[in-house]
Amino acid sequence: MESILFLDAARARVVAEQFGTPVYVYDRATLERAAREVLAFPNAFGLTARFAMKALPSAAVLRLFHAAGLKFDASSGFEAERALRAGIPAGDIQITAQELPKNLKGLVEKGVRFTACSLHQLRTYAKLFPGSTLTVRINPGKGSGHSNRTNVGGPGSSFGIWHEQLDEVLAAAREYGVKITGMHTHIGSGGDPEVWKHCARISLGIVARLPEVTTLSLGGGFKVARVAGEKTANLQEIGNALLPDFRAFAEKYGRKLHIEVEPGTYLVANAGALVASVIDFVSTGAEGYDFLKLDTGMTDILRPSMYGAQHPMMLVPPAGAARPPQSYVVVGHCCESGDILTPGPGEPEALAPRELLRAEIGDLLVIGGAGAYCSSMPAKNYNSFPESPEVLLENDGTLRQIRRRQDPQTVTENEILIL
Ligand code: LLP
């Protein structure tokens, strides 16, 4: 059984007592430390660090990161509006989205920056804002992810303009009189740091052919170890390895490129935990499994069922209870056989019993590594379960609620009764 980095058993009990379960807890100290690490990413000629807010877009977290010096990457017009609502200045928000925002014009007029992720997006933006500047997202031809589903570079990915279409990019810019001053890449999440560096070098080669580019965004994607055996990316090592390439580029082309990075996972993954309760047990006999059921599941944490992602787990019995170790397949509360919280690594369909402690109904189970793409990426309201609350653990140990539990009434509030 693993320990959860910032939440011990005693504090988990306090959280459950105060807010009920399931509930997400985020740790301010871990968030602030991660922000400092990202802001120290080595760079030859200047850095902008953005938070890929899709990973955890709660207003309190955005405000905390803004105070720490981060800017933001939004993955839709709605997400950009959400950042504005949280009080983030428009000039600190960039949109890198698969779908053109319906209110693109209004957002850009407020000062939000735009990354064109396809030729259609580029032409649409250029027609709306002739004479302006923008960034283009390029698929550099290669990618890497923690699973195939999170590899977003190469010919099998629809993200960004294919690197062999630069002539069309330049022609569109000329036709509409816009300047491409930024190039953006993001090649996947949780992939191989060697491939990341290789793609950064390929990107420099692409920037060489886009003569007005002065900023290169290398995206996010830095891996974070959530369980033993996984390895956290070393930002210092990755950034330092690229310094000579940026210096050589400046010598050769006379352009001192400003770089951007935009991690989501790295900034929040290990700053979050999900506190749940044990609600039931089912055993399928000697040839089967011992299942432990929780009052959470894919409605709060989808990553295990989607990617076979591994999250640490800590069983918390009542204070003073001594329990021997015991293994369970941990499952969620949804009527869905895929709602498995202990799948095989990278194998969402495999059942992998996890050693915990012998559990009883009413015990708590804390799931770690739940800061990134958990509260923001749930199978929301499936089986009509309401969205869970979020709590911030402050540096002085106090717990502040930053999102309320969804009122079950609101699950159906947009429905219209007929007949
Ligand atoms: N920039 C862009 C344009 C992106 O699409 C993403 C993630 C990021 C930055 C941040 O990537 P990160 O640093 O978090 O790896 N839901 C998955 C990951 C897919 C994220 C999609 N885009 C997960 O739970 O691992």
pLDDT tens, position by position, 315-341: 999 999 999 999 999 999 999 999 999
| Mean predicted lDDT score pLDDT of the chain | 96
DSSP helix/strand/coil, 35: helix
Distance 265 CA to ligand 1 centre (A): 7
Asked whether residue 206 falls in the same domain as residue 294, the answer is: no
Q: Is 220 in the pocket of ligand 1 (CB under 6 A)?
A: yes
Confidence category of residue 1, pLDDT binned at 50, 70, 90: low
Asked whether residue 167 falls in the same domain as residue 184, the answer is: yes
Q: What is the dihedral of CA 375, 378, 383, 384, to 10 degrees?
A: 50
Q: Is 263 in the pocket of ligand 1 (CB under 6 A)?
A: yes
Counting atoms of ligand 1 from 1, which one is nearest the CA of 188? 15
Asked whether residue 246 falls in the same domain as residue 126, the answer is: yes
Angle formed by the axes of helices 166-176 and 119-128, to 10°? 10
Asked whether residue 220 falls in the same domain as residue 82, the answer is: yes
CATH number for the domain that contains residue 338: 2.40.37.10
49 found inside a domain: yes
For strands 325-331 and 290-294, give the pairing.
parallel
Asked whether residue 364 falls in the same domain as residue 400, the answer is: yes
Domain range for 233 is 28-268
3 found inside a domain: no
pTM of the model: 0.97
Tell me which of 268, 288, 321 is where a domain ends: 268
Tell me which of 268, 288, 307 is where a domain ends: 268
Distance 233 CA to ligand 1 centre (A): 15
User: What is the number of structural domains in the chain?
Assistant: 2
Q: Kindly state the percentage of the chain with pLDDT values over 70.
A: 99
15 found inside a domain: no
181/217 Cα distance (integer angstroms): 11
pLDDT tens, position by position, 346-400: 999 999 999 999 999 999 999 999 999 999 999 999 999 999 999 999 999 999 9
Q: Which of 51, 53, 186 to mutate to test the pocket of ligand 1 (most atoms within 8 A of CB)?
A: 186
Asked whether residue 247 falls in the same domain as residue 288, the answer is: no
Asked whether residue 274 falls in the same domain as residue 256, the answer is: no
Q: Is 96 in the pocket of ligand 1 (CB under 6 A)?
A: yes
39/24 Cα distance (integer angstroms): 26
Asked whether residue 207 falls in the same domain as residue 99, the answer is: yes
pLDDT tens, position by position, 159-202: 999 999 999 999 999 999 999 999 999 999 998 999 999 999 99
Provide the pLDDT for residue 148.
84
Asked whether residue 246 falls in the same domain as residue 341, the answer is: no
Asked whether residue 208 falls in the same domain as residue 226, the answer is: yes
5 found inside a domain: no
Encoded tokens for 102: 């319906």
Tell me which of 243, 268, 293 is where a domain ends: 268
For strands 133-139 and 161-162, give the pairing.
parallel
Asked whether residue 108 falls in the same domain as residue 189, the answer is: yes
